[in-house]
Structure 1
Amino acid sequence: MTNQEQKSSRSFAGIAGIVAAATLISKVFGLIRQQAIAAAFGVGAAATAYSYAYIIPGFLLILLGGVNGPLHSAVVSVLAKRKQQEAAPLVETVTTLVGGILLLVTVAQVFLADTIVDIVGHGLAENTRAIAIQQLQIMAPMALFSGLIGIGFGTLNAANQYWLLSISPLLSSITVVIGIGILALQLGKNIILPEYAFIGGMVLAWGTLAGAILQWVVQLIVQWRLGLGTLRLRFDFQAPGVQEVIKIMTPATISSGMMPINVATDLYFASPIPGAAAGFNYANLLVQTPLGIISNIILLPLLPIFAKLAEPENWPDLKLRIRQGLLLTACTMLPLGALMVVLSVPIVQIVYERGAFKQDATQLVSSLLVAYGIGMFVYLGRDVLVRVFYALGDGQTPFRISTFNILLNIVLDYFFVQPFGAPGLVLATVGVNCSSMLMLLWLLDRKLNGLPWREWSVPIFGLFGGSVVTGFVSYGTLFGLQQLLGTTGLIVQLIELSIAGVVGLVVFGAIASLMKIPEVNTFMIRVRQRFFKK
């Protein structure tokens, strides 16, 4: 390995360490938030209504306002190629444009809340519908703040500020937990009663909005200190840098904007299934906790690198970086997905089964977790490839693929919901992600004048085989421990889950080491040096 490669790997691992620590803290608070919601509201009216009301505000906050979202990716792709003194005018102009558009979206949500809830919440009970409408009107301003947060994340990422990007989402979790805590102190055990569902729903909505505002304020302070833009209005929309951001941002945003259509389609088919909507939220949180951490570790350092290697003369290096991203994705997501599949029941029991969350809810959420676990690799692998297209200045290709996949999702939902129930809707999403990843690879092969298919596919299939072995070993370990120790008691369940998970990961680590994949080995060495150096 050359000195430059060693320096690059060391830098990548150093950034990954910062991102991993900050994202872990953020995800832990996110898990605590979801545990608080589960204990207080279970899969009752307040939590179910929130699942529907949060579709559009949550989508905007997570995708437009999230790390690795289209606004973040577009801003990074442009700023990474420019001098720092050019950043403030560009950021202020883009903020003016995006803020104006999203202000209109905010107003539209307030006045059309009942129509939106009726569309996505087909068949909701009247009480649940009323709660969802009020929640959506409260959370509507998140549309505006999501755009401001997304632009700020891109600006800070381009300036190599990684800690705040990864840790600031915990602010949303803190405000929701505080709200539920205050409500629990006032109502005590009565918080789970149906007559208090409306109050609980309002607490969830106001807590979520407060968290988004707080996240933006903290981020804005750092931007100002770095001289990367203020709240000044600028209307220089024809500036070259702004036009480049718009060129990437517009199709990327529209493409991401189609995700609520897929979510709404899933919820339409799920609405006749009791508790399915809330179950999706609980299962998705369990998947997003590790996935979000690893996604940030892989994508945050790679996105500026992709952008700097976008010129044709740098494509050989770009292909190496794409391979690195995909192999790191496979090495992390495949074994974690296998553990999600075979350990779903004890995971859900340990995290959620208390208060209003009973055994029937555990069965629903664990079945959904199995389906989510199957698709973890393609979910993140698709995101890696989408960021390559953004770095190349091509937002149209992901947009066209997303358009096609809306129709595919509807078809798969229709055929999968009958035989599989609620998990069938998650399997439909997995199918859509598989389709997206294959199409992106095929088109990238044409765009970059060929990809080394064998060099990429052989280690990925090897890691897939290792993850299958991991699943069998973990399940066998869990079964043996349950026969020995039983299945009752939180401590017993936690011990069994921990041992089964660790044994499986050790087996996978041994298999991966035997495969001697250079990117994975180098990355792990650098991470160990960072965290365990004397």
Structure 2
Amino acid sequence: MTRSIPTLPSPASSHPSRAAISPSFIDRSFETGSIDATMSQEQRPRSVAGAATSVSTATMVSRVLGVMREMVMARYFGAGLFTDAFNIAYRIPNLLRDLFAEGALSAAFVPTFIRLLTQEGKEAAWRLANLVMNALAVVLGGVTLVIYFGAKGFVYLLAADFARQPAKFAITVEMTRIMSPFLLFVALAAVAMGMLNAFGSFFVPAVSPSVFNVASILAGIFLSPVMPRFGLDPIVSMAVGATVGGAGQFLAQLPTAYRFGYRYRFVLDLGDPALRRIGRLMLPAIIGLSATQINITVDNQLAARYGDGPISWLNYAFRLMQLPIGIFGVAVATATLASVSRHAASNDIEKLRATVASSLRLAACLTFPATVGLVVFRREIVRLLYQRGSFRAADTLETAGVLMFYAVALFAYSAVKILVPTFYALGDTRTPVRTSVATVLAKIAINFALIAPLQFRGLALATAVASWLNFALLARALGRKTAVPWRWTDLTAYLRIAGASAVMGALSYAVFRAAQAVLPVRGTASLALDLGAAILCGAGVTLPLLRLARVSEANELIALLLRLARRGA
């Protein structure tokens, strides 16, 4: 169940080794010819809302396919012993992926690659890309072997209670071994993603996780029925699909990289200054992400205590919550990074604060209504997407209960993705690390406080509370760092957005009830029509309500939609 993550924010400052992707860099590249003229006009600077469109569109494709993948998982395998086993087995390479691939590596590789690209030219940049890929092949190849032969220890570390069920433990170990190469594939994909982003290509990297989702969907539908012929449980097909999909996520980006001039060469020089610089830049991110992984490990251990199902219910709900984050939060954060980096480089703190504040309000305009929708229609959404085949009505109720708690954190999740790269743009990698560690420690304490009254559901609520705490700490630290306080108008804007979202939710629910009166829910089709009517109502009234609430970002979103409509016409 891969998280479709676009290139993570990279440390940036006026120091040449921390240059970030910025519109000014792309403009200079056209003038000097340091980047091929194959880049389109659409890659030139634009507003945050406009720049987010390309990433948002690609991410939406990937996220929708991700939901379809989860639907296949629910249809064929439900929520229980085997899906719990798969989720833990898949979690093992993902723990290391966040540390050494799409998290720390992306944050260190992109600025170093751009520095070489601008100062020494393409050949030096391509050489660095090959150096990093070859070093990853050596290091992560070894890690793959460690995961393969040490699978039992890793499974016990994440879910010790599985050992009480020998069959569950054994199949988890088996799938862990099958997915052990996944880490290497997604690390290489992260390097390819960074290369393409450096050349202003965002759509292909953002859509590449779709290959993973398609491979998983096909494996679940067509491969699972034949697994028993080989003496394997059908769920093993999902492990095969994940590994093949991880490789495809990397390979799908190579044709575009090839068009920009990339050619693979075997070169391995561990003493290379640029490679060593990447290692130094990775260290703070690894420390911060390590705290997050400890948190995930604790969550898995606690959820595993409640038997078969909770790990899967938490996972299904979390994937639904990730859909709006991936479409809105990541897109706004990706688009914000360029503007923030430019203002930080010119030391224009007032414009930086204004950009961050506007981006946060834009994220609120998108995530507040999504939160209301997920909370109000949580049971209907889970039932429509998952309840079929092996996924029972009881699974729907449990997943919906968890989704309600996760949904509360939608804005906080998205806001953190905006604030963290702002610190990187200011050359501060320590504050996000300290905040992350403090938040994780707080969440572990909150876990134990909430798990007694709420059982495994307390883990989801603890995640939401910790997300808001993380956001609050980062916002406070940024205000101190920039010496620009958060104004009262910022709070009133959020209150107006929340009020508009609440009205939207009430209107949508009224439409849903009216649709039910006309077409009672008797099956999937009638539920889809009733829920679709409510969603269309919500989508249709949100922007007008935001305008009535005098939220300036609503006008920007309306202008963007009109431009897209004219372009489509």
Q: TM-score, normalised by structure 1?
A: 0.89
Q: Deviations over 1:11-56 (max 9, x none)?
A: 5455433223222221222111111111111013321101111112
Q: Distance in 1 between matches of 2:420 and 2:248?
A: 30
Match of 2:301 in 1: 268
What is the letter of the counterpart of residue 445 of structure 2? V
Q: Deviations over 1:124-148 (max 9, x none)?
A: 2221111111111111122222222
Q: Distance in 2 between matches of 1:525 and 1:481?
A: 31
Which of 345, 364, 374 aligns to 2:408? It is: 374
**Change over 3 Å in CA distance of 1:361–1:264 after alignment to 2:** same
Q: Distance in 1 between matches of 2:113 and 2:553?
A: 27
Alignment of 1:483-494 (within 5 A): 483-494=517-528
- Are 2:63 and 1:27 aligned? yes
- Are 2:211 and 1:171 aligned? yes
Q: Distance in 2 between matches of 1:527 and 1:504?
A: 16
- Give the stretch that moved more between structures: 338-347 or 137-146: 137-146
Match of 1:102 in 2: 140
- Are 2:151 and 1:113 aligned? yes
Q: Distance in 2 between matches of 1:197 and 1:332?
A: 48
Residue 323 (structure 1) shift: 1.7
**Change over 3 Å in CA distance of 1:524–1:258 after alignment to 2:** farther
Equivalences, count: 520
Residue 289 (structure 1) shift: 2.0
Alignment of 1:199-348 (within 5 A): 199-228=233-262, 230-235=264-269, 237=271, 239=273, 242=275, 245-273=278-306, 274-311=308-345, 313-348=347-382
Give the SS at the match of 1:227.
coil
What is the letter of the counterpart of residue 369 of structure 1? L
**Change over 3 Å in CA distance of 1:347–1:261 after alignment to 2:** same
8 Å CA contact retained: 1:13, 1:527: no
Which of 85, 91, 115 aligns to 1:49? It is: 85
- Are 2:434 and 1:394 aligned? no
What is the letter of the counterpart of residue 180 of structure 1? G
Alignment of 1:398-477 (within 5 A): 398-477=432-511
Q: Deviations over 1:384-443 (max 9, x none)?
A: 111112223322222222222222121111111121222211110111111111111111
Q: TM-score, normalised by structure 2?
A: 0.84
Tell me, which stretches of 5 or more residues in structure 2 are unaligned? 1-23, 25-41
What is the letter of the counterpart of residue 423 of structure 1? R
**Change over 3 Å in CA distance of 1:71–1:424 after alignment to 2:** same
8 Å CA contact retained: 1:65, 1:145: no
Residue 164 (structure 1) shift: 0.9
Residue 229 (structure 1) shift: 6.2
Match of 2:27 in 1: none
What is the letter of the counterpart of residue 111 of structure 1? F
Q: Distance in 1 between matches of 2:267 and 2:483?
A: 43
Give the SS at the match of 1:255.
helix
Tell me, which stretches of 5 or more residues in structure 1 are unaligned? none
8 Å CA contact retained: 2:93, 2:179: yes
8 Å CA contact retained: 1:64, 1:150: no
Residue 172 (structure 1) shift: 0.9
Q: Distance in 1 between matches of 2:477 and 2:206?
A: 31
Give the SS at the match of 2:302.
helix
**Change over 3 Å in CA distance of 1:183–1:146 after alignment to 2:** closer
Which of 72, 84, 95 aligns to 1:36? It is: 72
Instruction: State the identity %.
Output: 26
What is the letter of the counterpart of residue 298 of structure 2? T
Q: Distance in 1 between matches of 2:315 and 2:408?
A: 17
Q: Deviations over 1:169-225 (max 9, x none)?
A: 0111111222222235548xxx8xxx9995223211111011111111222343233
Give the SS at the match of 1:430.
helix
What is the letter of the counterpart of residue 370 of structure 1? M
Q: Distance in 2 between matches of 1:13 and 1:381?
A: 15
Which of 183, 201, 207 aligns to 1:161? It is: 201
Residue 372 (structure 1) shift: 1.3
8 Å CA contact retained: 1:348, 1:365: yes
Residue 290 (structure 1) shift: 2.4
- Are 2:220 and 1:180 aligned? yes
- Are 2:560 and 1:512 aligned? no
